[in-house]
Structure 1
Amino acid sequence: MTATAPTSAAPARVPAEPSDAEVIVASRDVPERFSEIFDRYFVEIHRYVASRLGDASADDVAAETFLTAFTLRHKYDAGRPQARAWLYGIATNLIRRHRRSETRAYRVTGRATAETDHADRVAEMVSAQRMQPRLAAVLAGLGAGDRDVLLLVAYGDLSYEEVAQALGIRAGTVGSRLNRARRKLRKALEGDVE
Structure 2
Amino acid sequence: MNGPPAASGPDAAVISESLEQPEAFGELYRRYAADIHCYAARRLGDAAADDITADTFLAAFRTRMRYDQARPNARPWLYGIAANLIGKQRRSEVRALRALARTGHDPVAESWAERSDSRVSAEAAQGELAGAIAALSAGDRHVLLLVAWADFGYSEVAEALSIPVGTVRSRLNRARRKVRAALGNADPTHVHDFLEVPGRG
Q: TM-score, normalised by structure 1?
A: 0.82
Match of 1:136 in 2: 130
Match of 2:153 in 1: 159
Return the match for 1:171 from 165, 170, 185.
165
CA contact (8 A) 2:36 2:53 kept: yes
SS at match of 1:136: helix
> Does structure 1 residue 146 correspond to structure 2 residue 140?
yes
Match of 1:88 in 2: 79
> Does structure 1 residue 44 correspond to structure 2 residue 35?
yes
Provide the C-alpha distance between the structure 2 equivalents of 1:87 and 1:61, rounded to a whole number of angstroms.
Answer: 11
Q: 5+ unaligned residues in a row in structure 2: which ranges?
A: 1-7, 106-118, 189-201
Q: 5+ unaligned residues in a row in structure 1: which ranges?
A: 1-16, 115-124
Provide the C-alpha distance between the structure 2 equivalents of 1:73 and 1:39, rounded to a whole number of angstroms.
Answer: 16
Q: Runs of 4 or more off by more than 3 Å in structure 1?
A: 191-194
- 1:86-129 CA-to-partner distances (Å, cap 9, x unmatched) read 00000000001111100111112112268xxxxxxxxxx95222
Percent of aligned pairs sharing the same letter: 56
Q: TM-score, normalised by structure 2?
A: 0.79
CA contact (8 A) 1:145 1:177 kept: yes
- Equivalent residues, number: 168
Provide the C-alpha distance between the structure 2 equivalents of 1:43 and 1:111, rounded to a whole number of angstroms.
Answer: 30
> Does structure 1 residue 27 correspond to structure 2 residue 18?
yes
Task: Give 1:140's aligned amino acid.
Answer: A
CA contact (8 A) 2:104 2:124 kept: no
Provide the C-alpha distance between the structure 2 equivalents of 1:166 and 1:193, rounded to a whole number of angstroms.
Answer: 29
CA contact (8 A) 1:127 1:192 kept: no
Task: Give 2:32's aligned amino acid.
Answer: Y
Task: Give 2:156's aligned amino acid.
Answer: E
Provide the C-alpha distance between the structure 1 equivalents of 2:63 and 2:144, rounded to a whole number of angstroms.
Answer: 26
Q: 1:167 to 1:113 in 2, by over 3 A?
A: closer
Q: Equivalences for 1:61-72 in 2 at 5 Å?
A: 61-72=52-63
What is the CA RMSD across the aligned residues, in angstroms?
Answer: 1.7
SS at match of 1:77: coil
Match of 2:114 in 1: none
Q: 1:69 to 1:192 in 2, by over 3 A?
A: same
SS at match of 1:190: coil
| Cα drift, residue 190 of structure 1 | 2.6
